């Protein structure tokens, strides 16, 4: 039993809801994620939050944007404020193809569907493919928002292990063979190949063809989620899975991390037949994505040095990553391990045996530091020895201070553990060799 899939409502709560008997079966699985509860706590100014995934927008040129957005309304207002198609604004879809070309993708704008953030793309793809009980393969750990969408469609998530080179092909093959033997219907592999959330690792280039080949052989579609792909700290851009397998990969992209998350502009690039159905699904979900937001992104891409802006973001995040890795090295007690991302927002930390990151969290918040405990990133109760630390938002100084505070909390947990043999009641599921956290380098 996990946070995502409680078998029954919390006792004492269900009598308060007179609509309880009316909900769909899927609704029973909807409970607040740990991450969500954390956002509220972490917003208190005295707490250093290493929990959230909010991009740092300080580098955006607000004056320029203000003028551009004003112009969009003044010049194109009757279009910007009007309904558009569920498919998305054609000019933007062409520009999106230019963005994806950086990752080696050759695509036709017709096969791009603009969505309300890539979260909506993920939700729509799951809507198209997953019947209740179908299996989705995902890395362990995986993106918490993806687990939410899969749960909403009652798909069952099977995690496959990563190491510091990302998803392990042998473990993927083994899982597929086992699931086939069990007669399970696997619909797709959901993967974040670059600068993984929350793992902080990147799928090695030499593994990519192998992963694609395994999925093809087993008749499994690949959903490639790539919000961080252009945020490599050395300017490196990895070739998208989609670039070599256009017929069996659905690609999810987003401007949330390379421009502005509050606009909610993402996209799906899909094989042609799937794209037609995606547009229909999107139409029933929101009619169309906001036209104004699409025109803002389109004008920004057309008139602004958006690649230069991404470079600024990269530098910004690299500086923060460096601060975090230095602080982890300096402060964290022996026995802790962590990943060393070369892009993106996150470090994945494994703490010594016996420490439970979920149980420890209230004590960390009391010590004025927040993180995301690992269990939220698994659909099956694992992750209690892990935590995700985000370096994207706070200043380097705050990051250092946050890690220092976290280290003190960890030390005190480990002291108690050495003295009494335990510090916490067991509140999370069992560990299993099938779903380890990424190895730490």
Q: Which of residues 284-313 bind its own copies (CB under 8 A)?
A: 284-293, 296
Query: Given candidates 5, 41, 57, 204, which one binds its own copies under the rule CB under 8 A?
Result: 57
Residue with tokens 């505070």: 405
Please identify, among the stretches 55-63, 403-411, 413-421, 426-434, the one whose residues bind its own copies according to the rule CB under 8 A.
Answer: 55-63
Nearest CA among 268, 256, 257 for reference residue 293: 256
Contacts with its own copies in 200-219 (CB under 8 A)? 219
Residue closer to its own copies by CB (options 127, 184) is 127
Residue 182 Cβ, how far from its own copies at the closest point, in Å? 18
Residue with tokens 């939050």: 49
CA dist., res. 72 & res. 299, Å (int): 8
Contacts with its own copies in 384-403 (CB under 8 A)? none
Q: Does 129 engage in binding with its own copies (CB under 8 A)?
A: yes
Q: Does 130 engage in binding with its own copies (CB under 8 A)?
A: yes
Q: Does 421 engage in binding with its own copies (CB under 8 A)?
A: no
Residue closer to its own copies by CB (options 95, 291) is 291
Residue closer to its own copies by CB (options 25, 334) is 25
Residue closer to its own copies by CB (options 60, 417) is 60
Please identify, among the stretches 74-82, 237-245, 331-339, 412-420, the one whose residues bind its own copies according to the rule CB under 8 A.
Answer: 74-82
Residue 32 Cβ, how far from its own copies at the closest point, in Å? 6
Query: Given candidates 88, 140, 141, 148, which one binds its own copies under the rule CB under 8 A?
Result: 148
CA dist., res. 51 & res. 387, Å (int): 9
Q: First vs last Cα of the chain: how many Å apart?
A: 31
Residue closer to its own copies by CB (options 127, 404) is 127
Neighbours of 166 (CB within 10 A): 23
Nearest CA among 388, 254, 393 for reference residue 317: 393
Contacts with its own copies in 329-358 (CB under 8 A)? none
Neighbours of 169 (CB within 10 A): 20
To the nearest 5 percent, what fractions of the chain are helix, strand and coil? 45, 15, 40
Query: Given candidates 69, 138, 212, 231, which one binds its own copies under the rule CB under 8 A?
Result: 69
- Sheet (strand 346-350) strand order: 337-338, 346-350, 386-390, 372-373
Residue 267 Cβ, how far from its own copies at the closest point, in Å? 14
Q: Does 136 engage in binding with its own copies (CB under 8 A)?
A: no
Residue 195 Cβ, how far from its own copies at the closest point, in Å? 18
Compose the 13-42 pattern: x for residues touching its own copies by CB under 8 A, - for all others.
---xxxxx-xxxxxx--xxxx--x--x---
Q: Does 262 engage in binding with its own copies (CB under 8 A)?
A: yes
Residue closer to its own copies by CB (options 228, 338) is 228
Q: Does 116 engage in binding with its own copies (CB under 8 A)?
A: yes
Q: Does 67 engage in binding with its own copies (CB under 8 A)?
A: yes
Task: Report yes or no: 293 and 261 within 8 Å, Cβ to Cβ.
Answer: no
Compose the 167-196 pattern: x for residues touching its own copies by CB under 8 A, - for all others.
--------------------x---------
Residues contacting residue 92 through CB under 8 Å, at least 6 positions apart: 114, 265, 294, 295, 297, 298, 301
DSSP 380-400: SS--TTEEEEE-SSS-HHHHH
Q: Does 166 engage in binding with its own copies (CB under 8 A)?
A: no
CA distance to 141, 282, 430, 437, per residue, from 434 (Å): 12, 36, 11, 10
Residue 60 Cβ, how far from its own copies at the closest point, in Å? 7
CA distance to 29, 83, 294, 301, 325, per residue, from 309 (Å): 40, 30, 18, 11, 24
Residue closer to its own copies by CB (options 14, 307) is 14
Query: Given candidates 5, 41, 73, 312, which one binds its own copies under the rule CB under 8 A?
Result: 73
Per DSSP (E only), the strands in 134-284 are 135-140, 156-163, 166-167, 186-191, 221-225, 249-254, 266-269
Q: Does 376 engage in binding with its own copies (CB under 8 A)?
A: no
Strands 135-140 and 369-370: unpaired
List phi, psi (to 5°) of 331. -105, -35
Nearest CA among 109, 148, 152, 121 for reference residue 265: 121
Q: Does 7 engage in binding with its own copies (CB under 8 A)?
A: no
Residue 33 Cβ, how far from its own copies at the closest point, in Å? 8
Buried b (16+ CB within 10 A) or exposed e, 280-319: ebbeebeebbbbbbbbbbbbbbeeeebeebbeebbebbbe
Count of residues in contact with its own copies, rule CB under 8 A? 86
Q: Does 281 engage in binding with its own copies (CB under 8 A)?
A: yes
Residue closer to its own copies by CB (options 284, 432) is 284
């Amino acid at each position: 039993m996990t946070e995502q899939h409680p078998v029954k409502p919390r006792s004492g709560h269900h009598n308060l809801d007179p609509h309880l008997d009316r909900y769909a079966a899927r609704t029973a699985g909807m409970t607040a994620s740990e991450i969500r509860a954390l956002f509220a706590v972490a917003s208190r100014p005295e707490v250093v939050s290493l929990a959230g995934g909010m991009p740092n927008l300080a580098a955006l040129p607000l004056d320029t944007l203000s003028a551009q957005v004003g112009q969009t309304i003044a010049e194109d207002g009757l279009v910007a404020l009007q309904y558009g198609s569920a498919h998305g604004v054609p000019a933007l879809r062409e520009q999106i193809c230019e963005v994806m070309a950086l990752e080696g993708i050759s695509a036709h704008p017709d096969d791009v569907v603009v969505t309300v953030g890539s979260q909506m793309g993920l939700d729509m793809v799951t809507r198209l493919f997953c019947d209740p009980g179908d299996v989705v393969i995902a890395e362990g750990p995986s993106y918490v928002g993806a687990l939410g969408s899969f749960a909403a469609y009652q798909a069952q998530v099977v995690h496959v292990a990563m190491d510091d080179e990302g998803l392990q092909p042998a473990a993927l093959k083994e899982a597929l063979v086992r699931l086939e033997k069990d007669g399970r219907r696997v619909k797709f592999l959901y993967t974040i190949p670059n600068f993984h959330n929350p793992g902080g690792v990147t799928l090695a280039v030499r593994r990519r063809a192998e992963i694609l080949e395994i999925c093809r052989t087993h008749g499994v579609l690949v959903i490639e989620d790539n919000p961080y792909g252009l945020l490599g700290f050395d300017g490196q851009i990895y070739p998208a899975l989609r670039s070599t397998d256009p017929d069996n990969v659905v690609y999810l992209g987003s401007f949330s991390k390379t421009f502005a998350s509050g606009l909610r502009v993402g996209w799906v690039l899909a094989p042609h037949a799937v794209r037609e159905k995606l547009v229909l699904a999107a139409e029933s979900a929101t009619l169309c994505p906001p036209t104004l937001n699409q025109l803002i992104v389109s004008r920004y891409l057309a008139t602004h040095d958006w690649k230069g802006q991404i470079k600024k973001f990269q530098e910004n995040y690299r500086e923060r990553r460096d601060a975090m890795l230095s602080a982890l090295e300096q402060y964290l007690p022996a026995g802790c391990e962590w990943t060393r991302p070369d892009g993106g927002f996150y470090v994945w930390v494994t703490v010594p045996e016996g420490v439970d990151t979920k149980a420890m969290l209230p004590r960390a918040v009391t010590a004025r530091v927040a993180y995301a405990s690992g269990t939220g990133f698994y659909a099956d109760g694992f992750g209690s020895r892990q935590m995700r630390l985000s370096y994207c938002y706070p200043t380097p100084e705050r990051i250092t201070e946050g890690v220092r505070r976290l280290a003190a909390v960890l030390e005190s947990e480990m002291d108690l553990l050495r003295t009494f043999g335990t510090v916490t009641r067991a509140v999370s599921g069992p560990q299993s060799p099938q779903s380890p956290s990424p190895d730490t380098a």
